[in-house]
Each structure stands twice: as C-alpha cells, then as structure tokens.
Structure 1
C-alpha cells in the first residue's frame, strides 16, 4: 500500500486504468471522446523521461490509481512571463476504490514532486461535466485560469 514511481513492469496495469479513464471521459463528452486505450509507448516514454513520472498508488499488488506529471515551461513568447511548472497530464483512480482519499494522496505527492524540482506551480485540465474531479481539484486549491470554448458548426 502506498505511492511509488512507476517502472516498466507497471505499464500494463496503467494501460488498464487508462481504458477506464477514457471510457468515463466518453460518457462525459460523447460527441468528442470515445472509449479507447493509451499507447504503451507513450506510457513508457513518461516513465523513462527525466522530466516526467507516473505516480502509482497500490493496494496490495494492485495498482488502483495513478497520476502522470510532467515538468513544463511557459511558451517562449514575449508576452509570457517565463515559468517552470508541473503539468498533471492524467489522474485516475479505479472506480472501485474512489472515495478513499487516493486522488488526494496522489495530488499531495505530485506537489512534493514539483517542490523538489523547484517548480513554481502545478496545473491540469478537467472536462466540463466531470464534477467529482473538479470538486477534488478545488478542494486541493486549484482555481480556474483559462477556459476552452467551442462553437459547433
């Protein structure tokens, strides 16, 4: 039990959680997202990267949640004040294990990860309609900074 950094042998379990994540995302925004799987090469590249990690939460031998975190920089545009920050690419907890504080623990560990690297802030995206995730992020201190809007033709 507890949080560790993923290694290569964890890829298939992480891929299984991605299938669950994408299935749930498809229910929230079915016009734009369909159930699917994550490319294992993508998962592997984040495990091997110097600027990324996948934090995993285990109960016994089973991975029941993960958080993918990446070190990022603001774009090199004159109008942007340069910042180094942590981007949370994905966070998923197995639906059978929700409500136990695992997402909170993963976010707290991600904050430790970012602070060790002297990053300035953390950001993430959340689908409109994913009220459970949005509630968690707000409880953890995340605030709206940008909104993506879409106009259907």
Structure 2
C-alpha cells in the first residue's frame, strides 16, 4: 500500500473509494461541565448509506499550499482518499475521507489520518478537524480510535433534509 499526493495523473482516481457503508447505530453526545461525552445506540437492523461524490474542482488541490488530497493505492487500485484544506482557525479541515469497501479494516484510514497530520504540521497548523453525522457510528468510533474528541454538535445542519441526523464536529489537537 502506498499513499501519494494528488497530481494530474491520479486525478482520475478521486472518488473511486467513495463506496456505500453500513449504518449500525448512532452516538448520542452530551455536554456537561465543559466536557463532551457520548453513548452509543445500536440499531436493531443496520442499513447502507452512500454519499454522493463531491463536485469540487480537484485540479485546484494540485500544488496548492492551502489544500491537498492524498490517495491510497493497493497495487494500481485507488482504495482510499483524504481531502484537506487549511481552515481559518489553524486546523486542517478534513473535507472527505473514505476507504473502499474491499479495503476497510486494513489500516488504510489510519495511514491517511497520519498523512493528514504530517501535512498539517508541515503547514504550521495546530490540529485536524472534521464533521460527520451522528448516525455514522463506525466513522465516529474510528475518529475516537485516532484520538479525536467531540468539539461541538450542530442539530440544525441537516434539518432541511428528510432525516434525523445531527452534525458532530471532531478535533485532534497536536
């Protein structure tokens, strides 16, 4: 497995790892005494969710000091990606991270987070930040395993959609 910084040749591989994933439950965050904690609610029946591909101009990420993309390859197959940008608050914001279904559980997501940490530190940023939905329990567990903590919850971000999702904001401080 190798991880490469996006260039013109590998632009065609962006979003290949964006594949359906399981929704098995959700986290239920609680804020008390200045600290976020959460419990998990496991659903009786899991379901599958798919995010649409982002519609960014990915060529803008090539050789850009304020944003970048790293792609993970197994042989010649793109099996993961992480999309990063320098945010105004001195965090590297993870706009997207995904690992293809066939490659999950092999440490690729962790290696992409490590690459994001390297990029953020070399860019003089103070941590990583990202947002995911409360019902993406497997992703939330992954972020906790990587050392992220909840920094906030937005109950209105997805209110205009026909769902019951909350946005969870995760942070990893260096």
Where is the strand percentage greater, Structure 1 or Structure 2? 2
Displacement after TM superposition at 1:118 (Å): 1.4
Question: Does 1 or 2 have the higher relative contact order (CA < 8 Å, sep 6+)?
Answer: 2
1:35-46 aligned at under 5 Å gives the runs: 36-39=52-55, 42-46=57-61
CA drift at 1:36:
3.3
Question: Which moved further from structure 2: 3-12 or 51-60?
Answer: 3-12
| TM-score with structure 2 setting the length | 0.68
* 139 and 97 in structure 1: CA distance in 2 versus 1, 3 angstrom threshold: same
Structure 1 stretches (4+) deviating beyond 4 angstroms?
A: 23-26
Structure with the bigger percentage of helix: 1
Q: Count residues in correspondence.
A: 135
**RMSD between aligned residues:** 2.5
d(CA) in 2 for partners of 1:111, 1:104: 11
Aligned residue in 2 for 1:133:
139
Counterparts of 1:15-30 in structure 2, within 5 Å, are 15-18=15-18, 20=19, 23-24=20-21
1:145 shift after superposition: 0.6
Which residue, out of 126, 148, 152, partners 1:146? 152
Q: TM-score, normalised by structure 1?
A: 0.77
Does structure 1 residue 10 correspond to structure 2 residue 6?
no
Aligned to 2:106: 100
